[in-house]
Each structure stands twice: as structure tokens, then as C-alpha cells.
Amino acid sequence: MDAMNIITSLALFLSFLLVIKLFKTNKNKKKNKKKPPPSPPNSLPILGHLHLLQKPLHQSLASLSAQHGPILLLRFGNRPALIVSSASIANECFTTNDIALADRPHFPSMAVITYNHTSLPFAAYGPNWREMRRIATVEALSGPRLAFFSDIRADEARSLARRLFLSSGKVELSSSLFGLAMNVMMRIIAGKRYYGEKGEKEKEAHNFKDVIEKIFSLTGANNVGDFFPAAIGWFARREVDKKLARYHKYRDEIVQSLIDEHKRRRREEEEEEEKEGGLKQKQKQKQKIHKTMIDALLAFQDEQPEQYTDVFIKSLINSLIAAGTDTSSNTIEWSMSLLLNNPDKLEKARQEIDDQIGHDRLLEESDLIKLPYLHCIINETFRLYPVAPLLIPHVAREDCEVGGYAVDRGTLLLVNVHKIHRDPAIWSDPTKFLPERFQNVKEEEGLKMKMMLMPFGMGRRRCPGEGLALKEIGLVLGILIQCFQWERIGAEEVDMTEGSGLTMPRAKHLEALCRPHQYMMKVLSQI
């Protein structure tokens, strides 16, 4: 009888627990009973909606958004993908849901080139990403470090002006602009120039440019093989994987050689100090400001070798080189393309520089604050031709709600900044190049525009290199306008066709006629 009572009591207790659990489950279901975002009906087995997409991907997604609305759910193979083409919903993603959407997808094709998904742009949200971002900011991208490296940017801008002065006529700008951006980054990172150096380094620099462009063209959400089940996916992307592995090996070996070179130099310096019996000298060495980022990273490695491995250092350096070269040079190239097609805007910018700077010296970074119209041109370029038209993809770390719809954990997020920046509900004459739209804007309207303009992303995964990009783009574009007269090669307008890839290059590199302004000849001949 006692045993029966115990069993009965236990059964009642378990039943009670089961009722509570069912009650909670039903309550949660009701609470979370949100509809999924709208989705086009023509999804196919295995493919999902991939058959609807073409390149450039941002334009294809914009067409789908025009048909189905500013938030829609697609299936990229076996993966759900949330497509956002609304500024207000994008803001919700990166404010209310910033942490929930702070992760990055692990695309199989990206594993090699991102050091198994640990590089700064593609690392999962967590301690490794935070440490990389902290070091990148403190050692290369903070206000004090940007000021410390300002002479490098000025020197490279002068060097570009000198080369254009000596080779005026028909010029192809893409290589020169990439070379400048590459030199700026390599001098910050390793203390050495690549472009403009004759021989092997010049050849290596051109190869590096080619590798970076090819990597960008094959990454992001552009590789359909990433979205198929394992065996089919491997087959679909096998050629892309081979190419990326080859590009990664080339890039990795160059950066490793830079690290080894710095290690040798540091050993030689330490041996020299030992000869001088320099305990005080060693203390001074530790206290000095690191001249290059590799020096700083190797100092960290001395203290915590298990954390700051060579792989950690290479991953961070390659991320900075990629993020700080193609992006800035593409933006300047798009700006010059727009100005060539709008000579009245080019003349207005030149007049502003003439009025504020004059003809007796070259424009400097400290002058940029006096050139509001130049800033308007840059903002309008960011609006029309954002360097990452879909941003870097995000992925949901947890279930969340976006725009009133349920978004499941693991869903890919693509924010179509290109579409948002051309939304007629936000921008008047959205496809027209109108730098004046950013002029004399009231504070409230200016803040609103800032929320709508997101070329560097938003939230905690916002690009940390924004400050460097704005300084470099402003200085270089200003000097190109100040020093040279630019014309299209023929009567036809410059072709503005967009290329595809993680960044958005021009489909064809920009060529133009360039000759120095007569009143700048003296200045140019002295640099």
C-alpha cells in the first residue's frame, strides 16, 4: 500500500510537471507566433530561390524587393536568407537586434582565406573578434594613430600627383589609385612601399592587386556552391575553392615574409643592445611608440605567444590590407567617373579648393574641414556607389523579430545598401548625382541623412576603418581636382556599369585625359 501511494504521488507529480511544461510551451508558441517574412512562391527543391538571382547580386535582389517588398525571406539552397531593402528596417537590425544579428556566416568557400573564419571581418562575434578589432583600432585606426601616420598619406598623395604630372595625357586611374592605397596600408603595417618601387616589388604589388580583386569577386554571398548540401556544394564550388586556395597561399606567403623580416630586424637590434650592455636601452625600446603595426603585434607576441600567433597576426594584417585598399581606391574611381560625367560639379569643387587653398601649395589633410562641397561629393559617391552594396553578410545568433516578422537563428542577413541609397521615398532624384543634397542641411535633417547613409555598415560590426577612408579619399580626390584638368576621352559619357563581388568595382577601369592646370605647374614641378 505504501509503495502504491508513493507511485501514485510520483505519477501525480510528474503529471503536474508535464502540465506546466505544456502550458509554458503553448504560452511561448503564442508569444512567438509571428509570421515569417514574405517570400516569393517559386522556390525549387535544392535550389530554393537561387534560380531567380543573377550578377551583380545587389541589383538582382533589388528587383525582387521591388516586387515583393522591403523585407523578404529567400532560400539560398538550403539556407534561409533575409533580404532588407528599407532604411528603417536596416536601422532596426543594427540597433534593437544588433547583438542578435552580430554573427557572420561560415561559408565553406571562405574557410581558407579567412583562416578558418577567424579574420576580423568574418570572425564570429566573440572574444577573438573583439581582440582583433581592439588591436586594429588602437594600433592603426584610432585618432592618435591616424594623426601619427598622416605624413604617409600626404607623401603618397604627393607621389601620385608627381606621377600624373610626368605622364599627363590618357591615364588609367585604377592601378594608380590602388597603388596609393596599397602603399599607405603597407607603410602603416610594415613600413615599406610597394608601388612606385622598380623591379620585383612593383611586380609583386601588381600581382597583389590582382589577387585582392579576384578574392573580392569570389567572396561574400556570390558563390552559390556555399548554399547547397555538402556533396553537391563541394562539386559546385570546387573550381572556386581551388582558385581561392591559390590566392590565399600567395597572399599568406607575402605577409609571412614581412613578419619574418621584422623578427630578424628585432633580433639584430636586441643583439646590438646586448653588446652595448643596454638595460636602459631595452627599457626605452619597450616604451617607444611602435612605428609599424607588425612591430606592435610582435611585441604582443613576446608577452603572449599562445594568443598572438603568426596566424593571428597574418589574419589581422590581410584583413586590413583587403579592407584598406580596394575599397578606398574604388570610391575615388567612382567619384572621378561621376565628376567626368558632371563637369559643372567638377568645376564647382575646383573653385572651392581655389578659393580656400589657392595656387601656391598642395592641399593638405588639415584643409579638408574648409571644403564642405568636396565632402558632399564624397557622400554622394557613397550614396550612389557604396563600396559594399550588400554590406558583409550577417547571420542571426538567436531567434529575433525584424520588421514585425519572426527571424530564426541561423538566418543569413543581407542589407541591400545600394537599394536603400536609391530609395525614392528617401532621396529626391535618387539616381541623379546631386552633391548639393548634402549642402546647408539643418541639424535634424542631417542626422536623418546620416541614418540613411550606411556605406560603412552600422552597429557593432561597423567598419572600423571609416576615419582612415574619409581622410585618404578626401585628400586624394581634393589633390586630383586641385592640380589637374580632367576630361572624358570621347564625347560619350563614362560608362557607369557596375561589376560584381563583395566590393563593387567598376565593370571597366576608368580612363581619362589628364593635364596639369597651368597655375599649378610650379607647385607640381617642386614635389
Instruction: Give the residue ranges of the annotated binding site.
Output: 463
C-alpha of 523 from chain center: 35
Which residues, listed in sequence order, are joined to residue 407 by a DSSP beta bridge?
400
3-state DSSP helix/strand/coil percent for the chain, to nearest 5? Answer: 60, 10, 35
Q: Are 465 and 141 in contact (CB under 8 A)?
A: yes
For residues 485 and 347, give the distance between their C-alpha atoms in angstroms, rounded to a whole number. Answer: 10
Q: Give the residue from 222, 272, 221, 264 showing the smallest Cα distance to 394.
A: 221
Give the whole-angstrom CA distance, residue 391 versus residue 409. Answer: 20
**Nearest partner of 479 among 173, 144, 148, judged by Cα:** 173
Q: Which residue has the cell 548639393?
A: 436
Closest to 184 in 3D by CA, of 468, 500, 517:
468
Alpha helices per DSSP H over 440-465:
443-452
> In the structure grid, which three cell numbers stand for residue 367, read together?
584643409
d(CA 332, CA 279): 49
One-letter amino acid of 344: D
* Residue pair 367/357 in contact by the 8 Å Cβ criterion: yes
Query: How many CB atoms are located within 10 Å of the residue 26 CB?
Result: 10
Q: Which residues are annotated as a binding site for heme?
A: 463
Give the CA count within 13 Å in the CB-facing half-sphere of 90. 25
Beta-strand (E) ranges in 174-313? Answer: none
